[in-house]
């Protein structure tokens, strides 16, 4: 789901949940691969980008390999979904932070503001999980579904694809800053 705005103060719930991204992302990758066979050749933008974004999903899954049995407190997160009104999700807090960082990228971010968020959050978030979530192409997948199912938002999907190189540079800046606070450094494959 594409979230237009995030509130960075999620409410901690009094329950522990298992991180389910690993299995969800594997299912999403399988779904994309299987579904793409049916639409291959219909949209050039998808034909030219799908392999890259499936690889991004696989990289995100790889980054989660040490967290396949991870539990943490659930947080209630809030946002506004384009065309759908309010969004609430109970998940671990890293989801909200990572999706907010993605949101800032697509809204012409201020890198000093990003750095200040990272610096202030060093003892709050597991940066390995944040990076996995940043690699996972949620915006691309949201607009891919909208294009395939509703024939909408070709231009938005194209915008995401056109910003791929800049997004990789953005991720490198974020990871470089996060690595200042990590003993086991994060290495991106690009």
What is the per-residue pLDDT across 114-169, written as a single tens digit (0 to 9) for each? 999 899 888 778 899 999 999 999 999 989 988 988 888 899 999 999 999 999 99
Could you give phi then psi for residue 10, rounded to 5 degrees? -65, 155
Any bridge partners for residue 71, and if so which? 18
With beta carbons less than 8 A apart as the criterion, state whether 24 and 164 touch.
no
What is the per-residue pLDDT across 85-103, written as a single tens digit (0 to 9) for each? 444 566 667 887 888 899 8
Class of residue 104 by CB neighbours under 10 A (exposed 0-12, middle 13-18, buried 19+): middle
Name the pTM for this structure: 0.85
| DSSP-derived 3-state class of residue 78 | strand
Q: How far apart are CA 108 and CA 61, in angstroms?
A: 27
With beta carbons less than 8 A apart as the criterion, state whether 103 and 96 touch.
no
């Amino acid at each position: 789901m594409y979230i237009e705005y995030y509130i960075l103060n999620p409410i901690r719930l009094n329950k522990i949940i298992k991180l389910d991204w690993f299995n969800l992302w594997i299912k999403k990758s399988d779904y994309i691969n299987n579904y793409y066979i049916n639409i291959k050749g219909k949209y050039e933008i998808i034909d030219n980008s799908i392999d890259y974004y499936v690889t991004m999903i696989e990289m995100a899954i790889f980054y989660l390999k040490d967290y396949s049995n991870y539990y943490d407190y659930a947080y209630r997160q809030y946002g506004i979904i384009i065309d759908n009104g309010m969004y609430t999700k109970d998940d671990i807090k890293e989801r909200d932070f990572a999706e907010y960082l993605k949101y800032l990228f697509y809204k012409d971010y201020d890198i000093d503001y990003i750095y200040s968020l990272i610096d202030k959050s060093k003892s709050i978030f597991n940066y390995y999980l944040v990076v996995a979530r940043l690699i996972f192409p949620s915006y691309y997948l949201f607009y891919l579904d909208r294009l395939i199912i509703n024939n909408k938002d070709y231009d938005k999907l194209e915008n995401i694809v056109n910003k791929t190189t800049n997004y990789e540079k953005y991720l490198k800046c974020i990871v470089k800053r996060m690595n200042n606070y990590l003993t086991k450094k994060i290495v991106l494959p690009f």
